[in-house]
Chains A and B, each alone.
Chain A
């Protein structure tokens, strides 16, 4: 082993330029792998974050549209006690109707929350415009900027809310929010749970339990586990995966294409290493012949090339990871939008990078198997007679 390693090392050092070029070849392959992988997973994460990052991913509602969920604290406690990756859980009670000011009427969906719990899902504080505050007391409301514009509202205004089934109630505007979605801006109002319970007059009941999970792609499985644990026929659940089939298939398509790209990059790297190492065996056949004449075992003669593959793979992988990270850094620094934010945020997953490096090393060693076999089979007499 030691002998084969020292011969491999010496062969590589003696052909510095060739060694450098091979390492560079592997490094470029690995760096493309790291960069594309980080880019695509970053793209995916940002897409997921933008589309479902600030909304409920699993929602539990009453099975009958006219009834509400009672004893919700107990149910939330049951869900929290489950060993599931649930990041946030919040009760909600909503009602639709109209907001009226100066005879102008605008449809609205007022969502009542336990605002501390809902903050983790919706990030209301970030969306609140300067000067306003979140609803704190009963009768306070925050509305979207669309509603503000169409009803010409300002902080401190009192407006009335009502619907066909709900009596008219006066609410005080305490702030405005930009939800970053046009439709929500002109439809949503946010109030406390108590405000809504008062308006609807149902006591301590809610209409929804909303949740976010850390592994969004497992939302359906978590959903199933929760419903099994609750074991309550009066409840129904919805998860984002069931509701966004198209988005999901888009994301899956992206994942698959990312894997395809990576597989092809890997194949080309493996082929390149295999062919270069095969040429090296030809170049070094005289040396291998001499070593065999001196009694080196076939196995050790093979090991020389396996070690060459391993060493090249190791250096190539390390250089490739550095190059890939450098490329990613350059991309996030120079490819930015008007706000100075990266066009596509990269997601650096060290597990993935380590895996790419490991694959490159194993692929290099694997690619060296062919030349290693060739080396073992090399006949001394052929080398000596053809010298």
Chain B
């Protein structure tokens, strides 16, 4: 399988121009194959969220090269980066980040609406199916602010899959869920991974969850401490 993401000698320093710069990532080299299901583990402050933000083009590395679909992201304009995020990457954030002013189904539809393609019945059906998959059909017209944390997280998962992205980046996607729901969500993500060939990169602090992935990368003090590929 070709690589969908490549990281080459990535360093990230916060407050580069300040008196006390903090280096969070040190010479990271990583590649992710298309259709792979990887987990990144590490203690808090180890740099895993920073790594995910760099992978998602939300942040820029201090040095090094990031290629997505073979294209260097540093050389892209803000506009083409936005398009890349919209079409190629789905985000599931730790704090789910729904728009509280919109209903569940509207939140799911947002990435599609941002793409400015015409909204057809098929698209609405897809959004409804996604909500059905995450078990929220009954509350699809509720404002997201009126939903529980777990429900909101599941809406965020449905939303991340709306534009059928090539890559899904998830930061503690099941952090707020009980163990049964967590299990369900992971099975769901796995299913999508196998069915659609979507590349998943999931951050978690839960080793038990991490072990369900095909590949476990452990980050420690901003460096790759362990990178294990599980054999099927």
Contacts and interface: CB of A to CB of B under 8 A. Distances in A.
Interface stretch (A253-261, A283-291, A310-318): A283-291
A282 to B, nearest CB: 16
A292 B91 CA distance: 11
A10 B100 CA distance: 10
B114 A384 contact: no
B101 A10 contact: yes
A294 B110 contact: yes
A380 B87 CA distance: 17
Contacts of A6: 113
27 contacts: A3-B114, A6-B113, A11-B101, A13-B101, A286-B97, A287-B99, A290-B93, A291-B99, A293-B85, A293-B91, A293-B93, A293-B97, A294-B86, A294-B110, A295-B82, A295-B83, A295-B84, A295-B86, A295-B115, A296-B86, A296-B114, A297-B79, A297-B83, A298-B79, A300-B114, A384-B58, A384-B93
Contacts of A339: none
A14 interface: yes
B111 A294 contact: yes
A295 B87 contact: yes
A387 interface: yes
A381 interface: yes
A319 to B, nearest CB: 23
Interface string A375-387: 0000011001001
Interface string A260-291: 00000000000000000000000000110111
B115 A387 contact: no
Interface of B: 53, 56, 58-59, 78-79, 82-87, 91, 93, 95, 97-102, 110-111, 113-116, 159
Nearest to B89: A295
Nearest to B60: A381
A14 B100 contact: yes
A287, A290, A295 — most chain B CB neighbours (10 Å): A295
Given A3-B113, A384-B53, A387-B95, A292 B82 contact: yes
- Those 4 A-B pairs whose CB atoms lie nearest each other, nearest first: A295-B86, A14-B101, A295-B85, A381-B59
B58, B93, B95 — most chain A CB neighbours (10 Å): B58
A106 to B, nearest CB: 84
A68 B217 CA distance: 112
Nearest to A376: B78
A293 B102 CA distance: 17
Contacts of B56: 293
A297 B99 contact: no
Contacts of B87: 295
Contacts of B95: 387
Interface residues of A, number: 23
A295 B87 CA distance: 8
Nearest to A290: B97
Given A293-B58, A297-B83, 8 more contacts: A10-B101, A10-B102, A287-B101, A293-B85, A294-B91, A295-B83, A297-B82, A387-B95
A10 B102 CA distance: 8
Nearest to B83: A295
A384 B111 CA distance: 18
Interface string A1-23: 00100100011011000000000
A13 B82 CA distance: 27
Nearest to A3: B113
A293 B88 CA distance: 12
Contacts of B102: 10
A296 B97 CA distance: 15
Contacts of B79: 297-298
A381 B114 contact: no
Contacts of B53: 381, 384
A308 to B, nearest CB: 12
A3 B84 contact: no
Interface in A123-169: none
B100 to A, nearest CB: 7
Nearest to A301: B82
Given A10-B101, A14-B101, A298 B114 contact: no
B114 A294 contact: yes
A10 B87 CA distance: 24
Nearest to B95: A387
B110 A381 contact: no
Interface in A356-384: 380-381, 384
B99 A290 contact: yes
Contacts of B111: 294-295
A298 B97 contact: no
A260 B59 CA distance: 49
A209 B148 CA distance: 88
B101 A294 contact: no
Contacts of A292: 82
Nearest to B85: A295
